Amino acid sequence: MKKTYRQLSFEERFAIEVMYRSGVVVREIAIFLRRSPNTVSREVRKNSVHGVYGAEKAKHKVSARRWRAKRQCMKVAMDSFLSRFVEEKLETKWSPRQISGYLRRELGIGCSAKAIYKFTEARGLDHLLFWSWNDHKSGRKRGHWKTAHDGRKYIDSRPERIGVGHFELDFIVSKESASVLLVAVDTVTKQTFIRKLLNRKRTTIRRALSALFRGILVKSITTDNDIAFTCWRELETLLNTRIYFTHPYHSWEKGLVENTNRWIRCFVPKRRDIASVSEEEMREILSFLNDRPRECIGFRSPKEYYSSLTASVLLGG
């Protein structure tokens, strides 16, 4: 059963004030109130004024925050442009944080992500909040690994990745067929490239990477120890670059492409036969990944940022 949070009453706040000022530690106050120590600690931290906690002032601070939150929600609802803009962007799978950042950066409009969440809930648009993903899979045991002796370079020896042109590479596979998606992500701009391949044979990989990176600056590639990359020496020569490998069972060492794959899986579930993914679907996935503003790159889109940096490199900037 889902736990519901119960707001502190004024009497509880008064007890916190008296006990805290008397030097009673947070854990003992929590036991007395039958509350979580985190609840008491958060209450004191958020609602103290100049380092002093008082029940009356705490009550006023909480009321003021609620009023501001309600006003922020109304700001979206009462502005026809904002409400229409928010709904349109939610429809195209932008997150509230991305919408907020874009409004501030491009239009100079201050509208918090929290306000957009509240508006979304009030309008019954929760289904448009695209994805809730649990990144943590507990209980998985890590395997032991042996270092390959074919001269491959692990990321321990990889120089610092500076500027555009450093890629992380991975496959999205299917149990239904030999077809795979080859995914490459630029580590600075987050620009993503995807190719659908019939298989992971050496000739297929060589041909696909040659086409994928044609005319593109490739300073380095980081990938895992997939059997498809046993021809890494050929690929280094073909692409005129350096290929580095993550350690076995250390997928987080190429975390950017791993995270990108999770987003792609929203469009291509694990049970889906990758051979059935159409070109139109590929374009939709790439648009989702490359055309939306991203907080980690200043609310620019990967496409916009990649274009500006590659143009700068070509101009010698």
**Are both 163 and 17 inside the same structural domain?**
no
Q: Which of 54, 70, 86 is the last residue of a domain?
A: 70
In a domain, 142, yes or no: no
Q: What are phi and psi of 128, to 5 degrees?
A: -85, -10
Domain co-membership, 162 together with 300? yes
Q: What is the mean pLDDT for each group of 10 consecutive residues in the chain (317 residues)?
A: 68 90 91 91 90 89 75 70 86 89 90 85 71 40 46 88 94 87 96 94 91 93 85 91 87 91 92 93 96 93 93 62
Is position 192 within any domain? yes
Tokens 């029940």 -> residue: 55
Residues 44 and 186 grouped into a single domain: no
Contacts of 191 (CB under 8 A, 6+ apart): 185, 290, 302, 303, 305, 306
Residues 157 and 301 both lie in one domain: yes
Look at residue 2 in the predicted model and tell me its pLDDT: 47
Say whether both 175 and 119 belong to one domain: no
Among 27, 52, 70, which residue terminates a domain?
70
210/306 same-domain check:
yes
Q: Which helix or strand (DSSP H or E) is residue 310 part of?
A: helix 302-314
pLDDT recorded at residue 143:
41
Same domain, 89 and 221: no
pTM (two decimals)? 0.62
Element (H, E) at 78: helix 55-78
> Does one domain contain both 165 and 302?
yes
Q: Does residue 144 fall inside a structural domain?
A: no
Q: Are 288 and 263 in contact (CB under 8 A)?
A: yes
**For residue 2, is it within any domain?**
no
Which structural domain range is residue 87 located in?
Answer: 74-126
pLDDT confidence of residue 1? 45
79 and 180: one domain?
no
Same domain, 46 and 97: no
Let me know if residue 184 belongs to a domain.
yes
Last residue of a domain, one of 51, 70, 89: 70
Total structural domains within the chain:
3
